[in-house]
Amino acid sequence: MAAQTLYDKIWDAHVVSTEPDGTCLIYIDRHLVHEVTSAQAFSGLRHNNRQVRRPELTLAVVDHNIPTSDRSKGINDPESKLQVDTLRTNTDEFGVEYYDEQDVRQGIVHIIGPEQGFTLPGTTVVCGDSHTATHGAFGALAHGIGTSEVEHVLASQTLLQNKSKNMQVLVKGKLPDGVTAKDLTLAIIAKTGTAGGTGHVIEYRGEAISDLSIEGRMTLCNMAIEGGARAGLVAPDEKTFAYLKGRPKAPRGKDWDEAVEYWKTLKTDEGAHFDLTVEIDASSIAPIVTWGTSPEDALPITDTVPDPKSFKDEHKQTAAQRSLDYMGLTAGTSLSDIEIDKVFIGSCTNGRIEDLRAVAKVVEGKKIAENVSAMVVPGSGLVKKQAEEEGIADILKSAGFDWREPGCSMCLGMNPDRLKPQERCASTSNRNFEGRQGHGGRTHLMSPAMAAAAAVTGKLTDVRTIVNS
């Protein structure tokens, strides 16, 4: 057999049937569901008198819409409440397991999947959410789908797909101290552009990738979609197996042994063909922040706001000027001179325990700047509990952070956590689009450590200058 990539192997193992033009019916092993993109899919089933084919392969949770303040008071917004109530009704009716807002296992859908051991190497994972790419960190083929496709998966446990092309991002060398998976993923997008991965599945390879923790790999793969890729993948290794072992939904006993034996075969063969290769030297990467309204608008913190005229492409020049106008920035300003109003720590990109530890490490014994209000939204109830047990919550609260309940929160501002017009936010989330965190809000994406540094100084700051001092 010809040498295959990891993507080729997972794809081949899931083809149910093939149309004459090459369109395939792919089997879906794991389906995650949340309240915002599922209601219309369940009504579609009901309308056509269809069932959920295998409810045990679907896991539902509420995350996008719920308040991160005291849960006992319920949801004030009637539309949000209806959407959340509808998820409960739908999961009850169709027999799907559901973690509601009172459940300690509740959290952001892409955090709870791995946390519960629901996400496994070699499986196909889908969810009506573009950041499903996160699960690729385990060597699972994982991508976001629309609501029509959610309905398709619920009804048939399959999806109609065209195979993507193979792309590898080869990250050689080691990341310097103070540089994290978030900086790496932003550096990759800055290099490839937001459409650079369109039509491709990316496999991240190389020493710096093997060195990343599983949580770091999740941060990396999470933003594969911001580079336009259908999915991001990292081959499973001993770290992956150690992370999954003993998790509630992971295999046990003989099943576990057989699974690990199979998972060890999930790697790209020597000589396998990639349609596109991008190489990055990890040692050259510095802590990164975004300056514009697209994730590709990312630069090292030591740089300055670019001049729109410096871009070769005229469409990009126009886009960059629009970004600067929206962001209220002037070309030539040092990025480290930009003052902020808000700090948001959380999201499926950076809402895990290692992220919170990184913030605590920077802010321990310090106070956030007077001009800043900062919030921490743990990615799940279990992350929150662990952070409280480890003393992280106390450190953050003493520093002046608002310690919240888990959910998507200000990553997309569907719940009450939003920026006001022209408020500037140092955010650990994944999208700096216009209006993403609130109408007129200005988002700078960065790592948790960098957001913590900004919280302390009140402006965008190179975290290495804080930790070293």
Partner 1 sequence: MRALKELTGVAAPLPMINVDTDMIIPKQYLKTISRDGLGKGLFHSMRYNDDGTDNPDFVLNKEAYKNADFLIAGDNFGCGSSREHAAWALEDFGIRCVISSSFSDIFYNNAFKNGMLLIKLPQDVIDNLMQQAEYGSNAKFSVDLESQTVTAPDGSEHKFELDEFRKHCLLNGLDEIALTLEKDACITGFEKTASQKHSWLSPAS
CB-based contacts of 439-445 (< 8 A; 24+ apart in sequence): 441/413, 442/326, 442/327, 442/328, 443/290, 443/293, 443/419, 444/289, 444/290, 444/291, 444/338, 444/340, 445/182, 445/186, 445/289, 445/290, 445/295, 445/298
How many Cβ atoms from other residues are within 10 Å of residue 27's Cβ? 17
Comparing CA positions, the residue from 318, 317, 288 lying closest to residue 184 is 288
332 is an interface residue for partner 1 by CB under 8 A = no
How many Cβ atoms from other residues are within 10 Å of residue 182's Cβ? 28
In angstroms, give the least distance from the CB of 287 to partner 1: 24
**Of 69 and 156, which CB lies nearer to partner 1 in the complex structure?**
156
**Of 177 and 314, which CB lies nearer to partner 1 in the complex structure?**
314
| Binding range to partner 1, per CB under 8 A, among 160-168, 178-186, 209-217, 384-392 | 160-168
DSSP string, 179-217: --HHHHHHHHHHHH-TTTTBTEEEEEESHHHHHS-HHHH
98 is an interface residue for partner 1 by CB under 8 A = no
Which residues, other chains included, contact 247 with Cβ-Cβ below 8 Å and sequence gap of 6+? 115, 116, 117
How far does the chain reach from its first CA to its final CA, in angstroms?
Answer: 56
**Of 391 and 421, which CB lies nearer to partner 1 in the complex structure?**
421
Site for partner 1 (CB under 8 A): which residue of 8, 115, 149, 462? 149
Q: Which of residues 75-94 bind partner 1 (CB under 8 A)?
A: 77, 79-80, 82-83, 86
Q: Which of residues 349-408 bind partner 1 (CB under 8 A)?
A: none
In angstroms, give the least distance from the CB of 77 to partner 1: 8
Q: Which of residues 107-146 bind partner 1 (CB under 8 A)?
A: 117-118, 120, 123, 128-130, 132, 143-146
Residue 18 three-state SS: strand
Q: Which of residues 429-468 bind partner 1 (CB under 8 A)?
A: 431, 433-436, 439
416 is an interface residue for partner 1 by CB under 8 A = no
DSSP string, 297-318: -EEETTSBPPPGGG-SSHHHHH
Q: Which of residues 2-21 bind partner 1 (CB under 8 A)?
A: 16-17, 19-21
248 is an interface residue for partner 1 by CB under 8 A = yes
Site for partner 1 (CB under 8 A): which residue of 69, 88, 98, 156? 156
In angstroms, give the least distance from the CB of 22 to partner 1: 8
165 is an interface residue for partner 1 by CB under 8 A = no
Site for partner 1 (CB under 8 A): which residue of 140, 319, 343, 372? 319
Binding-residue total with partner 1 (CB under 8 A)? 86
242 is an interface residue for partner 1 by CB under 8 A = no
